[in-house]
Chains A and B, each alone.
Chain A
Amino acid sequence: ELKVEQNPLFLSMQEGKNYTIYCNYSTTSDRLYWYRQDPGKSLESLFVLLSNGAVKQEGRLMASLDTKARLSTLHITAAVHDLSATYFCAVESLTSQGAQKLVFGQGTRLTINP
């Protein structure tokens, strides 16, 4: 059974600092997704990582995937308040019918203080 674990679960940091969120998963998968969720809202797709060594960057966020280590990271550079949200990683497993079944981590609640 695929399990996905994120750490830390809570992160409070100051504006301008750098930090990394980690996502470990238990079985082989080549596809990993990062989502952002604001309080009371739906999930917004941030990154799709499709292969070993994949690196994607958007603004102050950069995501990477190491399929051999079963590890993805989401790195935040020079954090700003607008990045405060909960971040989820999700790992794909395909069902026997080819359905895209995602298993989510617990989420990392990020609070960025002025």
Chain B
Amino acid sequence: DGGITQSPKYLFRKEGQNVTLSCEQNLNHDAMYWYRQDPGQGLRLIYYSQIVNDFQKGDIAEGYSVSREKKESFPLTVTSAQKNPTAFYLCASSPPDTNNSPLHFGNGTRLTVT
């Protein structure tokens, strides 16, 4: 079955530590995205990538970094520079032809930083 796998589901870290969230897809989608969701709020775009070895900042990229070395993988690193990292992080992908195609979302990683 094709889909998007995010791991881990829950992640706990101490303040000041960098942490990397995994996102893997086997849908053969070109575009991948990272969104952040805070309690009771909508999703905000962190980074996105259209093709391998290229990515763009979204609306709230500060304190985050990404890489896109393979089409299937788009890991997100939450750095110590991110002031409020505790949130629910969702990875998504979309095929090249976006007509009639909504974003496909992974199951999310809930990050808690104390």
What is the interface of chain A, defined by CB distance below 8 A to chain B? 4, 31, 33, 35, 40-43, 45, 48, 50, 88, 90, 92, 95, 97-107, 109
Size of chain B's interface in residues, with CB distance under 8 A? 26
CB of B94 within 8 A of CB of A95, answer no
Inter-chain CA distance A33–B98, complex, in Å, is 12
Across-interface contacts of B111 in A (CB, < 8 A): none
Q: Which of A100, A101, A106 contacts B42 (CB 8 A)?
A: A106
Q: Mark B36-71, 1 if CB is under 8 A from A, else 0.
A: 000011111100101000001010000000000000
Q: How many A-B residue pairs have CB under 8 A?
A: 60
Interchain Cβ contacts under 8 Å between A and B, 25 examples: A4-B42, A35-B102, A41-B108, A42-B90, A42-B106, A42-B108, A43-B90, A45-B103, A48-B100, A48-B102, A50-B99, A50-B100, A90-B43, A95-B48, A97-B56, A98-B50, A99-B56, A100-B94, A100-B98, A101-B48, A102-B45, A104-B35, A106-B40, A106-B42, A107-B41
